Amino acid sequence: MSGKKVLCVYYSRTGKTRNAMTAVAQALGGELVEITDGVDRSGLIGAARSCLDAVRRSTRFLDKLEMKHPITDYDLVILGTPVWAGRCSSVMREFLKKYGRDINRAAYVITRASERVRYEQVYDQMDLYTAAPRLCAVSLRCGDEGEAFWREEFLKEVNKVLVEE
């Protein structure tokens, strides 16, 4: 969308959310920013640590973010996060605690491994931290045959939101 500032900010433990958000940012001409908290979350121990952090709703300080503009200057902020233990990642939760009240127009991309994730609950959890509820969202099961279809449907919704602004 020409003239619209879109920020695509994400956390990715395994690279799946990074891949999904990279595709979204490229399709929209958006700025892509990765958030990290400096915690080693690799392997089985990292996965267990991540799930425990999600269940406890614990957060840590984020590493410094490099955004081109203040977050309030973006027309849309698309937040990408994996689902950990039925919740958004603790890294995304910390980002939302820090910046969420400055985000008036949000969309969500969540990635999941399980078919049984109740992703609507994850959207609702994230809405608790933003200034206004999400405008659109998608839940992607990375590697699934429907992933590309649902990503394209999400992009159509995002483009409508940007035009209607």
Residue 164 has a pLDDT of 82
Assess if residue 132 is contained within a domain.
yes
Is residue 1 in a domain?
no
- Sequence-ordered strand ranges (E) for the chain: 6-10, 31-34, 76-84, 87-88, 106-112, 136-141
User: 119 lies in a domain?
Assistant: yes
As a whole number of angstroms, the longest Cα–Cα distance in the chain is: 45
Is there a domain that residue 41 lies in? yes
The reply to whether 35 falls in a domain is yes
Gap between the Cα atoms of 20 and 157, Å rounded: 16
pLDDT digits (tens, 9 = 90+) for 76-104: 999 999 987 677 888 888 899 899 999 99
For residue 121, the surrounding DSSP H or E stretch is helix 119-127
pLDDT by residue (tens digit) across 42-55? 777 666 665 666 66
Query: What's the CATH number where 40 sits?
Result: 3.40.50.360
Domain count, the chain: 1
Q: Give residue 58's domain range.
A: 6-164
Q: How many CB atoms neighbour CB 141 within 10 A?
A: 17
What are the residue ranges in the chain where pLDDT is below 70?
1-2, 38-41, 45-63, 85, 115-118, 165
